[in-house]
Amino acid sequence: MMSRIAMVTGAGSGVGRAATLALLADGWTVALVGRRREALEETIAEAGAGAKAEAFPADITDPEAVEALFAAVRARFGRLDLLFNNAGNNVPTTNFGDMTWAQWRHVIAVNLDGAFLCANAAFRMMRDQAPRGGRIINNGSISAHVPRPGSAAYTASKHAITGLTRTIALDGRAHDIACGQIDIGNAATPMTRRMTTGVPQADGSMKAEPTMDVESVGRTLVYMAGLPADANALFVTVMATNMPFVGRG
């Protein structure tokens, strides 16, 4: 079987690291992307000897850096079968009236601009390679459905990712490119450690929330990535079973 080539952005920690480890365990060759080489190398080391993985440090908010990244991946592997468009960031909880332009841009630059740049470059690579086609999986969020208090920039970025997913899926049909979205709720990572001590609720209170093992995200991603070319998981939600998402509290 031909080697399957994947790229994971934000592969140095959290969801990106879990997804990378799961893909490697499933036999994929993975190009790890992130700002810090040392974090990417830590992920590769965790995968163990023999892992088919290589680090590609890059700033995904820089169009020239993204072009160079995809050129390097093309030169190294010859093709791309999967992009997990995962990199993201956030700012502390901030009431909308107090949110600054700098905070807004800090989030949108990675969560939306970076996601566009990587998906756009991956789309063109998949369209033009032979045999053509591939799969793009965007990291949405429970926030792509409902906001938390004080999360305007993050929530807006994830709603935008949903629009991006739908249009890529539509435009990709003619080129054998599938696009889906994974919406994650309360995976236990360093970014979500505060869930165990208390996060803002809609009623103004602070409450701890249940979390799930981040490895469950990796297993879900492997399922989505492994579907045959004629099938697509357009939207998949994987969440802590008892988190306050379904219901009225």
What residues are labeled active site? 154
Please state whether the peptide bond connecting residue 131 to the residue before it is cis, i.e. omega within 30 degrees of 0.
yes
Polymer length of the chain = 249
Q: Residue 216 belongs to what H/E stretch?
A: helix 215-225
Joined tokens for residue 161:
């990712």
Helix-helix angle 101-108:152-172, to 10 degrees: 30
Q: Which amino acid is at 100?
A: T
Joined tokens for residue 17:
């690291």
Q: How far apart are CA 16 and CA 235, in angstroms?
A: 18
Q: How far apart are CA 129 and CA 16, in angstroms?
A: 25
> What is the three-class DSSP state of 119?
helix
Q: Of 210, 245, 243, 238, nearest to 223 (Cα)? A: 238
> What is the three-class DSSP state of 185?
strand
Query: In 34-193, which ranges are continuous DSSP H helix?
Result: 37-47, 63-77, 101-108, 115-128, 152-172
